[in-house]
Amino acid sequence: ADPVGGAPAYPGFMTRGIDAPENYYYRRVYTDAVRAVEAARSHPLTDPARTVAVGSSQGGGITIAVGGLVPDLAGIAPDVPFLCDFPRAATITDRHPYREIGLYLKTHRGRTEDALRTVSYFDGVHFAARGRAPALFSAALEDQTCPPSTVFAAFNAWDHEDKSIEVYDFNDHEGGGPYQQAAKLRWMRSYI
């Protein structure tokens, strides 16, 4: 059960606890992700200095958050990351899950400012500004779920000089698929 309670929300996860940053669903998700990195690094067969965070879509957005919250990762590789530039994404795509925000605000008029304030605390663009590791992003230019402009916003904010982005011109949210996996493995060889 959700420990925060049952404040009004649109079905899904994007608006759970959107009334305040301390209640927002993704606060708990990001905390769990940071704790997962800590747990993985504590294993005796793990070299903590060679830890890389990777993920696609929601996992990509979480990867960016982890990269901003864990200062000594060897690298991060978010693919077609979700959870970036919430205000723009919520207004330029009609695909879920970003659409949940608009549908929530459609029936909860007057709460736009509070909702956008809450999600700003969990926006990948802000976590990217804290990034201290090499990064390999990916974006798909026909992605309607995670619009490329939102991915580029996080990439441009990533605060490390050693960063690059793979761009897939004619792909939707599947991104580069196996091509991106191969690119990521080649990239990781130089960091771990």
User: What are the catalytic residues?
Assistant: 57, 143, 173
Cα–Cα nearest to 24, from 41, 40, 2: 2
Cα–Cα nearest to 53, from 63, 39, 65, 42: 63
**Residues listed for the chain:** 192
- Buried b / exposed e over 48-76, threshold 16 CB at 10 Å, is eeebbbbbbbbbbbbbbbbbbbbeebbbb
Is beta strand 135-140 parallel, antiparallel or unpaired with respect to 75-79? parallel
Amino acid at 6: G
Axis-axis angle for helices 99-107, 112-120 (nearest 10): 150
